[in-house]
Every structure is written in C-alpha cells, then in structure tokens.
Structure 1
C-alpha cells in the first residue's frame, strides 16, 4: 500500500511535471515572468524530460494558449518552485523509463468536460499503473524531507486517495460500514462451515472462494447421478455379492465388532447407529450416521472373529469376512459421490480389515482417505455454536468428535506399522478430544460377547471406559507424532537435536503412564486381576511406543552422538527389551481372561515389535540365568501370533517372518561362536581375547566394522550402576553383546531384504558378558 512517505518515483515525476507545467501556464496567464533556470540544471531537466517523453516546461510568455485553472490548484509559487527543485535534485536518468510524450500533451483539445487536463492525466496515469514494474531492484520511492509541499493538493489518482476530500454525505457511514464488512469477509483466513443437503456439514478453507457465501441446499445435487438406495443392490448383483443377509447373522457379527474391535478403535456410537438405521429402512430417510457401506464393513470385521466359512451362509470361495468387505467396497464407491460421517467410519473400518488381510497399501490408503474426508466434513472443527443453534444435538457432536480423533489415531498407528510418513497440522484442529461424555450418560457395561445370549450363559461383565480409553490413546498418539517426522525418516536433523527431542518425548511417555486414572491402570505382573481387553491393548501400545522411541538408539555407532552423550545405547537396549517383556506379560493376562482368538488388529503390530526385541535378547550365549525367561516370553508372542492367524492374515505373515529371522540369526551366531572357540581359551590381547580364568570374556575383534572400540568402552556408555552391582539392573541380559544389527534398529522389519544375512560381516557377531567387578 502506498503512503505519503513511500510513493512510486515514476508516477510522482509524471504528476509533478505536469503540475509544474500547469503552474507555468498560470504564471504566463497572469503576465508574470518565471525566474531563470541555471544552464546546467536546465540541461539536466531537459534530458530528464526527454527521457520521459514529456514536453519541456515552458519558460516564456505564451498568450495563445489559455487553459482553465482549477481554483484548488492555486498555490504559492515559491512553494511550488522549491518542491520542483527538490524533486529534480533527487532524480537520476536511470530511474526514469521512457513514456509516450503524446500522453501528456496539454494542448490537446476535446469537447465536453472530459477535455480537462486533469481528466487526461487521470486516464493516462491509470493506464500507466498497469504497465509498471513493481519489482524494480532500484529504490523507487520518495521520502519526504519536510519541504513546503503542504499547499499542493494531490489530484484524484487511485493510488493517492488515502483520505476522503470534502464533507461526507449522509450515506457515507452506511456505505463505509458495508464496505468494511465486505473487506473483512475477503480478508478471512480461517475458512467457514456450510450446511448442505441432509444436514451435511462441509468445511471450505480460507483460500477457497466457496467460503464467501453459503450456497442454497441442493445446488450441487445434479453432480450425484447414483445413490446406494437406488443403485446399490444392482451393483452388488452384478458382482455376485447381492445375496440377502440373514438378520440373525448380521446381528451376531455386529455384536462381535462392538465387543472386540470398536472399543479400542472407537468409531461408531451404537445408539446413534441403530437410530439412524431405523430411519434409513423404515422411514426411507437419508442420514449421515448410517450407510450400507458402514454396516457391511462392521460385519466384515466381526466375521474375522468367527470361523472362516459360515456353515449355512455360503460365500465360497471368499471367506465370510472378505465377502462383507467386498460388499462394503462396492457400496463405498457409490457413497463417495455424496459422502457423510458414516462414509468416514466405513473407510476406517475397512482400513483395519485390509491391513489384517495383508493388503497393506489399500488399508493405508483407506485411512488416509478417511482423514482427508474428515477434514472435508469439518469433523476437526468445534461444533459448540451449531449445538446452540439446534443444528446438531450434543450426541451428534460427540460422535463427530469421536470419529475424527478415532481416524487420527488409526492413521498414525498404521503409519508406524508400515513405516509411512504421518503429517497433519494440529494447529487447525479445534474440536475437543472425546472422553468428556454427555452429562446424563450412564456408565455402560462391557460383555465379552462370543455367541448369542440364548445359547450361552451370560458371562461376568465389567464397567466399560471406552471414552476414557479413546482419550488416553489419542494423547499417546499426539506424544508420538513428532517422532514420525524427526527420528524416523529424516537424516537432515543433527544427532544432538534428535536426542533432545527424543528425551522430551520419552519424558512425556513416562508422564502419560503416571497420570492414568485408576480405572485404566494395569500391573503387568498381576496374574489375578481383571482388566478390560481395550485397557490391556492401551498399555501394549504404550510399551510399543517406548520401543519406537528407543530402538534407533540401540546401536553404538548408528545414531549415538560422539563423544557419547546421554544414557547411551545400552540403556536403549535395556528399555526396548524390558518393554517387550512387559508386552509379553500383558499378552498372558489377555490370554488368561479372554483367549487369543479375539484381539483387535492393532495387537498384531504390538506383538510383532515385542517379538523382534525378544529374539534380539535371546542371542546372548553367556548369560543363561535369564535365557529361560526370555524364551518363555518369546514363546508367548509366537503362540499369540499363531492364535491370531485364524483371524488376521497379517499375524500369519508376521509369525513366518519371525521364524525365518530367528533361524538365520541363530545359524549365524552359532557359526560365529564355533569360529571363536577354535582360537582357544587364552590368546594374546591383540587377537581380542583376555584370559580371566573361568570368567574369561570374549571381546569383539579389533578389526570389526564398528571400529577398534573394546567392549569395556561400550560398557561405559550404559547407565551408572549403584551399589557395585554387576549390571543386574539389566536383569541378566547381556547388554555388551556385539551384535551389529544397525539395519534392524534403523529400519522396519518388513523392509529387510531376502539376502539380509549376507549384509552382516562374518566377524560382527561376538557375545560378551560383564566382567567380574
């Protein structure tokens, strides 16, 4: 914006030059003789005006041309001359581009009021403004220096009308207020919410022009040429999925979904779902809280907890779960033409099914699509004002809140599972987290549903805390969100900064666990207590996050800063192994209470991470006092994956991968151990062994890829031991073993190549135990 102190140099020269020309005509008209101009200044002024293409200011009396003079232009001659001189002294020829001299010919005569020279000047100046180069590298502004310019009135130029001239009219205040409202609307940078047909709330961001005005309902209805109500069954029949679903089978699968899948990945409010379903079928009313895609998606996940093929409802060759998933995908494609909240829910549920069925790419895409659609439907915005206006009920607003944050949590956990980037701006989110609940919402009871009630005695129920679990799980995801963008997949951040950020995240993790309410606390060593399955899964995810936050630091050379700083790689190994052990204990509690046939799909990822760490811990050959316990915990993980294989194909893949990994690690370590025994019990220090009697400890060879650092130097990086203990704070696990597995610590296990064992140098796997202290 131009101001009095910053004005384009080119327009200033043009306007002031013509102003001086007008003053000269005024002087000649009154028979006055202007003062002479020094020769050198006259030459400079002539050269400048010629460069601009302007007429040379007349200095002689000319009685043949008399121009009308605006009374407002009558000013003090000396002031005008001094201002012109000050201007001339500030200009250089390089700053003045050429312009058309005809544009400023003050003798051009036309008929009517438009013949005024100021009208010509305004027209030409407006035309020249569009041609200016506003990014000139040279300074192109004039700074006033206190000269006598107060008598000069700026002409009516668009860039110079900073203040209104003349007394305001009666309508100025109203028109100004209206204009200010329009300006504020154009300047909005937060976007707006709009309500479309069937109560569909859409969010238009500030850069979208559609945020300026709310379109009438149904204005975009012509874009939807098919609906599930009219065309859904036809599409299902054409693909062979149009069989009529028995109501008792559907109810059974929906009950399984709400008992075992939804409580930990809470997306659907059953009360609202049933009410909306009744409206859709009985009243034939479209509602944003029910869709056929959602119904079939929930049946597909419920079917994963049943036998693969139903005895009476034949879906062969597809399994029962895949049959319902195929129906949901077909209907979802139609729903995307006019999506709603239930469409987001269906995508998230289908995402879990696809991940469980080993279709990872499609599952990850579904979760990402659901998150984008959640933003499109304004699920990330606070709906308090809509509740006050009666547009939404408190229960509907609570559901929107749960759907958005549930989508956020699922997408992030899948990002960690697949090693994919997770990036979302938290600054634009204004919706509160779930967990507050409605004022009159009674505490519900959770039942470990497996079969219809009429054929099975009612089991013991527990107080359900599904909203609290959701809120604390979301906080856990928020804590881990920065690591997905910094610690993993980013090689440009200095190690010191990574370590500081990681320390803050770990502190937040520990604080998160300490702040848990009593109803969500779990003691992994408690073998008699009763816990909700989703509370056990919440703690499993916590310990998995501890592994994620420490695993890249397990290597002594990959990420640890040099010189050593912080707890060191031994501490990272300890934290990962202890967290994996805690997960194994939680699995045992889960198995004792509910069996391992029905576990949320997120449990597969957690068990997979724990198994990797336990296999790593089992590689130590010289500290056998805890080997049996480690083997027991590892067996629990393998048994869990084996049981989950009947429900989730990804569990079978993880189990097969772990068996292959364990076999190759053991073969490699056995070979290295045999080669080490051939050297003999006592060798020279140069060969890497030091005789210490029965407690002789083998050191890594000095020519190992990690360098010539001795094992004792790695010991110095582990946490300080108190009371002179021999490292028993690590519970007997050999924390000095020289197993060079940086490629495991730095990358996801699923990215390991088939020939991974060839990547490990033959002298990289020697195991050491602590010396006698």
Structure 2
C-alpha cells in the first residue's frame, strides 16, 4: 500500500512541550495550534521554538543566507562594483551544492572577474543608488526632491556656509538638499500628477524582488546547462571567453588614436569601439583635402587672392590681443609651430588649419577699417571676406575634422553673432561642442601623456578647446535665450588648476598696430588661464538657471525661489573668492586692469541680472505666501548690477577706448541698458535720476562706439531706443488717462493740465538715422520741480504693468521699426483687445 494511504500515527513523545504544560509539569501532545491540555483548560497555547536549537532547520538557515547573498549580489552588480575572483574549484563546488539544495544560484555574479578598462580615464567612480521615485499623485515638499545629481560646480570650493547663504536676503532657511538642485533634478522632474495610469510611479516597489520578464526566447537561454565532463577544456577557454564577454559588456566607451594622431571617441553603443580600424579605412571616405583642393575651391568662389603676409600678421596679433584672452581657445606657441610644420614641412597636424587661420583673421579685422586701402575685398568687407574663406575651407575640413576644426567653429561663431547672423552663429557653436565630444576633447588625457602618446602641451590644448567650446555654448545660450543641453556626467577632462596658473604668467600689451603698442608701453601680467578657469566656474553656476528659472514652468514657485536663492549665494561667493590678481575696485580710477578681466566682471554682473530679473515683478512668479527677499530686492540688485556694468565700461574706455571690445561686451551692455531704461522711469530712482541717466548714456555711447566693429551693437542700440520710447509713451498714456485704465486707482498718476502744457519734450531721432549723444538721454524731462509727481505716477503704472515689461520678449527687431510696430503697439490703446 502506498505511504500516502497509511493513517497518520500519533507521536508518542514530542520534542518540546508548550509553555503552559511545561509550567504545570504535565505531558503535552504537541498538537497545533493548541494542545489538548490547553484546549480543555482554554489556555493560550504557545511554543518557544525559537529558543530550542533542536527545532532549527539547517535548510531554512541556508535558504535565508542564500537569499541575502543573492540580494547583495544584485546590489553590487547594479552599482558596478568589482568583485574579488573566487577559486575555480570552490566555485564549482558551490554550484553543485546549491543545485542539490534546489536554491537559486548566484555563481554568475561570484565568478565575474572584470578586467580593468584599457583607458583608466574612462572608468567611473561608484555612484550611490538613486532614491526611490516618489509618488506622482501628490506635490512634493522641498525635502523630497530628486537629488541624485549634484551641481557640476562644486560649492565647497568657496567654503560656502549657511551664514554666507543668508546674504541673499532675509528668507526663511530652506533645506540643504536644494543646494544640489540641477537641470535634471528640478527641470525634468514631473511636478504635476499624470492622468495616465501607466505613468504613475509608486513607492512600494521592492526592487530586489523584481524578476526578468517571462518569454519563450528568454527561457531558452536561462535553462541550466550541465557541467562539462571535460573540465580541463573549460579551464583553458574560460579566460578568453570571459574577456570577450567583458568587452561586449563595456558601457563606458573607448578612445582610438589614428596613425596621424587623430583621436576619436566611440561610445559604449558604438560597435566600432571593439577593435582598431584598419589603417587607411577612414581616408577612403575623404575625397578632397584643403592642401590639394583648398586653393582651387577658393578661386572658384572668388576668394582666392593671396593675402599679404604683413596684413595677416597684423590681424592675427589683433585677435590674440583682444579676442583670444577672454574666449581662450588657441595657444599661440602651438599654433605657430603647427603652422610652420603645415607650410614648410607639408606635414598635416591637428593643431593648425587654413580655416582656423582665416577665422582668426576675420575677428582681428573687426577692429580695422571695413575696407583695406590696398587689399581689395569689395563688395565684401574685410571681416566678411576672411569669414567667407574660413567657411569655404571649413566645408572641406569637415570630411576629416581635427582639433583646429573645433577652434575654427568657435571663432566663426563669434563672427557670425557679431554680424547679425545669429542662427548660423548658434549652429557653429553647437557643431563645435558636438565635434569636441567626437574628438574626445571631454576626456582626461593624463594616461596618454604618461605613456608618451601625447605631449603635455597637446593635452593642455585639448582641454582648453573643450572648455572654450563649453563657455561659448553657455554664454550664447543666455544671449539668445535658447536651450543648451550638455551633460556633465561624461566629462572627465579637468579644468585649469591653480598650479598650472602660477608657472605660466606672460606679459600683455595693448597691441593696436605694427607701429604702436597702444597708449601704454608698460606691459601687464597676463592671467589668461585664471580668467578662463573662473569663467568656466561662472558658466557652471548659471547653468541650472537656464533650465529651471528660464526653462520650466512646471516647478512650484516656492521651490523655484528657494533653489534660485541658493544659486545666487554661490554666485556672490564666487565674486568674493576671486584671486587678488583679477579683483577690480569699481571706484579705482587710476588702476590698470586687463581687458579680459574687466569683461569677466561684466559677465558676472550680467549673470546677477539674469538671476534676479524674473523676480522683479511682485506677482509674476513670486511665491504666495511671500517668500524670500521679494521684488524690491530683485529690482535693486538688477539696477545696481547695471550701474556696475556702466562703471566697468568707463574703466575700459579710459584705458583702451571702446573700439576694441570682445563680442560678449555687446550682450552685457544690452542687458544693462534695458534695466537702466526701466530705472529711469521708476520711482525707486527718482532721487538718483541724474546718476541713472548718466549710466544709461554710457551704455548707449558704448553701443554707438561698438557699432563700428559689430553689427549686432547697432541693432541693439536701435532696439533700445525704440523700447525706451515705447515704455515711456505707454507710461505717460496711463498716467494721463487714469479713468481709462481699470487697474489704476482714480487720481493716481494724474498730472495737472497746466504742467503738461508747459512741459517740453525732447524728440528722439529715428533709429534709422544718425544718433546724437542727446538722443541717448531719457525722453522724460529731468526737471526738479516736476520730477516728483511725474516719477510717482510713472512708477505706479510700471509696477502694475511690470509683468508685461519683463515677460515680453526683448529680442532685437531688424528692419524698419515703423513698419514692424502698428499704432496700437507704439501708442498704448486701452480699448484694444487681443
């Protein structure tokens, strides 16, 4: 008879009696859940099985430990940690034991012996696990934001404390985690609940218990494979096969150096990273080169005339004096050496190209007359002629780009922006940063310098070019109000360090022409690397604001204000911690400062404006209930920063004149002038109207001077004149007709008819015509007796309408202003709808 059919035999003895029977010292039948004695006496029947080692099951203990080991293995694999190798015999024995017990094997993780990457610079440090995703059904408080990505800029370098943060205002303290808010941590977070059930993320998911999906094809690969009878064959082939598996499993990418020194970067999903390409494979796709076909191509386009050597040297000197120190992308020494090799030895080099040479000449020519007296380029101006040559040669170089190609794109981007071709300039900047990643400029080359593959100056140039492309993309993104998307996670190249700055201090002279070295013959200690380093830091500080404050409308206002306050604190700390050699005293009228140091401080004050301008309105994005310093503080910071920019312009003009200013100066002056126009009609500045008008006049005069070099300066000047007239006419219209404005209380801003009749109004010249210094002054009359009433009325109107002022786009308007703006737009019509 089968065993299952036998009746259950009652056990005569039990191993452990229940607690009640043990205390009464009577026999217990060990029945569960209640023994017979407890059931009769209606007692609570309990066993102390946990304290009795005779009840402990070895299998249960092994299963529990095995489950824990499996969980730890998953944790290690998810974080990419490296395991120590396990002896082969022990691994096989463990596999057999686990199979015998019927437990899930963890041998795959234990046997894994990862080989170190070929390039040590490509290895990543272990990253902590991201926190569990919060539920999408509720709005998150600040302390539950996704903070798994930190700022690319390290605030700890400034010794920033809570006391330092408090300088931004008297706001209540916010969570420390907000200091680490970044683009993906704030801007890409889903703030509002989703209506789709598929997008709901719950927090009760046990990641450790997630199993792979069930599929017939997957099951065919997951079936257990019996151990081979020939263990010697397995031991001999295991190492080779494991190496191949590791190579296929690589997720960090690799660098390949071609025979001509060209370095290419292949990402982890690119199959070309598995082996070096055969010699000459890339050259098969190049059907033309600049050396063989460049001159013929220029001749066909009409730009083939030979450039006099003295003119070229002069333009190159202008570029290295006034352009390259602030937007540092070209090393003069390495450039001259590579140029000599390319021309004299006919040896191709990645650090020189004809496109780069012509691009630098185009920027140097912006500080010369538009048409040279002896070198005829008509109808094209001298800068446009060299830019056209550079663009024609660049089209050929793109078939086989190099580091000099990236440099040429960065330089051409500045020229195109200055020539009012913003789209092309934006494209060149984007192409430069993409090509920089393609050439692995974002990777640290220290291992290759150590192995002698690269020389230290070459690795230093690669680092300089990458960060030059980065700062160009960031500043241009703020200038045009366009997004910039650069992930800092994959960047391993280091920024300039203080150690590298001390040993390379050179002399700088204000070169103007071959016959003169400028107004001063006393050279200044140059600090190009220091300016580059702190400009990079400035761009890193401002990068999150481009994605949060200016790039996302879903972030709650209180979260936005708190994160903005943290970033502003870091911005102020950056200013306080600048080295003494590049500090500037705005009240020092006798000191001598480098032009690129002055521009660095101008960019800082422009960034302060960018960080505060959206908060100038009391209702636009201010959180409710009120939080932070408030709108008046934001207005004060913007106006004071604009005034500081005007003072820096005066220092620049006193030392070097305004005929030679980097293209970034136009954008800075543009931002400052808009704030000063607002300040000129604001009640907060009624006691400082003369000072505000003086600063505004400086900005207009600077743009007038820069118009001879940069077309975008002329466009900015014309736009500001039109904007100034529009704002003042609108304000006057509202102040004169309070009854027609439902938002303005009756009587506020009204002016006496007799005063208006006697008031004389200065006429502003047409933007298309010549500009006088008088036309740059505020249209509002500056009369002490009438200033109080007028300014108070204008201020009330502007405070009510501040959302319209600063939410409206301020992009320059090309062409004829009179045709672009209709009567309703130019003269405020309260009855107009839409």
TM-score (norm 1): 0.70
Report the equivalent of 1:67.
none
Q: CA deviation at 1:754?
A: 3.6
Q: Does 1:161 align with 2:161?
A: no
Structure-2 separation of matches of 1:757 and 1:270: 55
Query: Equivalences for 1:394-413 in 2 at 5 Å?
Result: 394-413=456-475
Q: Select which of 314, 319, 332 maps to 1:252.
A: 314
Unpaired segments ≥5 residues, structure 2: 6-208, 210-218, 751-793, 814-819
Q: Select which of 732, 737, 741 maps to 2:802.
A: 741
Report the equivalent of 2:394.
332
Q: Select which of 380, 402, 409 maps to 1:318.
A: 380
Q: CA deviation at 1:330?
A: 0.2
Q: Does 1:750 align with 2:816?
A: no
Q: CA deviation at 1:747?
A: 4.7
Q: Select which of 641, 645, 651 maps to 2:713.
A: 651
Query: Equivalences for 1:377-396 in 2 at 5 Å?
Result: 377-396=439-458
Q: CA deviation at 1:307?
A: 0.7
Query: Equivalences for 1:550-589 in 2 at 5 Å?
Result: 550-589=612-651
Q: CA deviation at 1:327?
A: 0.2
> Is the 8 Å Cα contact of residues 193 and 204 (structure 1) preserved in structure 2?
yes
Report the equivalent of 1:68.
none
> Is the 8 Å Cα contact of residues 589 and 651 (structure 2) preserved in structure 1?
yes
Structure-1 separation of matches of 2:251 and 2:704: 53
Which secondary structure state, in structure 2, belongs to the residue aligned with residue 203 of structure 1? strand
Q: CA deviation at 1:212?
A: 1.1
1:597-618 per-residue CA deviation (whole Å, 9 max, x = no partner) reads: 0000000000000000000000
Structure-2 separation of matches of 1:615 and 1:439: 40
Q: Which of 318-327 and 480-489 deviates more?
A: 480-489
Which secondary structure state, in structure 2, belongs to the residue aligned with residue 687 of structure 1? coil
> Is the 8 Å Cα contact of residues 738 and 748 (structure 2) preserved in structure 1?
no
Q: Which of 291-300 and 452-461 deviates more?
A: 452-461
Report the equivalent of 1:600.
662
Structure-1 separation of matches of 2:463 and 2:614: 34
Query: Equivalences for 1:290-301 in 2 at 5 Å?
Result: 290-301=352-363
CA RMSD between the two structures = 2.9
Structure-1 separation of matches of 2:246 and 2:371: 62
Structure-2 separation of matches of 1:650 and 1:675: 37
> Is the 8 Å Cα contact of residues 394 and 438 (structure 1) preserved in structure 2?
no
Number of residue pairs aligned between Structure 1 and Structure 2? 568
Structure-2 separation of matches of 1:458 and 1:594: 9
Report the equivalent of 2:72.
none
Structure-2 separation of matches of 1:165 and 1:266: 63
With over 3 angstroms needed to count, the CA separation of the structure-2 counterparts of 1:735 and 1:677, relative to structure 1, is closer
Structure-1 separation of matches of 2:723 and 2:508: 39
With over 3 angstroms needed to count, the CA separation of the structure-2 counterparts of 1:533 and 1:625, relative to structure 1, is same
Report the equivalent of 2:786.
none
Query: Equivalences for 1:467-478 in 2 at 5 Å?
Result: 467-478=529-540
1:656-675 per-residue CA deviation (whole Å, 9 max, x = no partner) reads: 00011111222222333333
1:531-567 per-residue CA deviation (whole Å, 9 max, x = no partner) reads: 1000000000000001011111111111111121111
> Is the 8 Å Cα contact of residues 570 and 735 (structure 1) preserved in structure 2?
no
Which secondary structure state, in structure 2, belongs to the residue aligned with residue 426 of structure 1? coil
Q: Does 1:525 align with 2:587?
A: yes
Report the equivalent of 2:679.
617
Report the equivalent of 2:106.
none
Q: Does 1:202 align with 2:229?
A: no
Report the equivalent of 1:366.
428
Structure-2 separation of matches of 1:623 and 1:188: 62
Greater relative contact order (CA < 8 Å, ≥ 6 in sequence): 2
> Is the 8 Å Cα contact of residues 398 and 437 (structure 1) preserved in structure 2?
no
1:492-541 per-residue CA deviation (whole Å, 9 max, x = no partner) reads: 21112211221121011001101100011111222221110000000000
With over 3 angstroms needed to count, the CA separation of the structure-2 counterparts of 1:401 and 1:690, relative to structure 1, is closer
With over 3 angstroms needed to count, the CA separation of the structure-2 counterparts of 1:226 and 1:686, relative to structure 1, is closer
Q: Select which of 272, 277, 284 maps to 2:334.
A: 272
Report the equivalent of 1:60.
none
> Is the 8 Å Cα contact of residues 395 and 438 (structure 1) preserved in structure 2?
no
With over 3 angstroms needed to count, the CA separation of the structure-2 counterparts of 1:569 and 1:313, relative to structure 1, is same
Query: Equivalences for 1:122-133 in 2 at 5 Å?
Result: none
Report the equivalent of 1:500.
562
Which secondary structure state, in structure 1, belongs to the residue aligned with residue 589 of structure 2? coil
Which secondary structure state, in structure 2, belongs to the residue aligned with residue 451 of structure 1? coil
Q: CA deviation at 1:185?
A: 0.8
> Is the 8 Å Cα contact of residues 437 and 467 (structure 1) preserved in structure 2?
no
Query: Equivalences for 1:93-492 in 2 at 5 Å?
Result: 159-161=222-224, 164-166=227-229, 168-169=231-232, 171-436=233-498, 438=500, 441-453=503-515, 459-492=521-554
Structure-2 separation of matches of 1:412 and 1:359: 18
> Is the 8 Å Cα contact of residues 241 and 323 (structure 1) preserved in structure 2?
yes
Structure-1 separation of matches of 2:411 and 2:796: 42
Structure-2 separation of matches of 1:440 and 1:548: 33
TM-score (norm 2): 0.65
Q: CA deviation at 1:172?
A: 2.5
Structure-1 separation of matches of 2:595 and 2:734: 43
> Is the 8 Å Cα contact of residues 382 and 431 (structure 1) preserved in structure 2?
yes
Structure-1 separation of matches of 2:745 and 2:427: 56
Structure-1 separation of matches of 2:687 and 2:460: 53
**For the pair shown, which has the larger CA radius of gyration, 1 or 2?**
1
Q: Which of 584-593 and 492-501 deviates more?
A: 492-501
1:554-605 per-residue CA deviation (whole Å, 9 max, x = no partner) reads: 1111111112111111111111111101000000000000000000000000
Structure-2 separation of matches of 1:437 and 1:223: 43
With over 3 angstroms needed to count, the CA separation of the structure-2 counterparts of 1:624 and 1:456, relative to structure 1, is closer
1:99-157 per-residue CA deviation (whole Å, 9 max, x = no partner) reads: xxxxxxxxxxxxxxxxxxxxxxxxxxxxxxxxxxxxxxxxxxxx9xxxxxxxxxxxx98
Structure-1 separation of matches of 2:635 and 2:365: 39
1:434-457 per-residue CA deviation (whole Å, 9 max, x = no partner) reads: 245659944200110001047978
With over 3 angstroms needed to count, the CA separation of the structure-2 counterparts of 1:627 and 1:756, relative to structure 1, is farther
Which secondary structure state, in structure 2, belongs to the residue aligned with residue 481 of structure 1? helix
> Is the 8 Å Cα contact of residues 495 and 561 (structure 1) preserved in structure 2?
yes
With over 3 angstroms needed to count, the CA separation of the structure-2 counterparts of 1:344 and 1:394, relative to structure 1, is same
Q: CA deviation at 1:647?
A: 0.3
Structure-2 separation of matches of 1:492 and 1:158: 45
Q: CA deviation at 1:686?
A: 6.8
Which secondary structure state, in structure 2, belongs to the residue aligned with residue 194 of structure 1? strand
> Is the 8 Å Cα contact of residues 642 and 675 (structure 2) preserved in structure 1?
yes
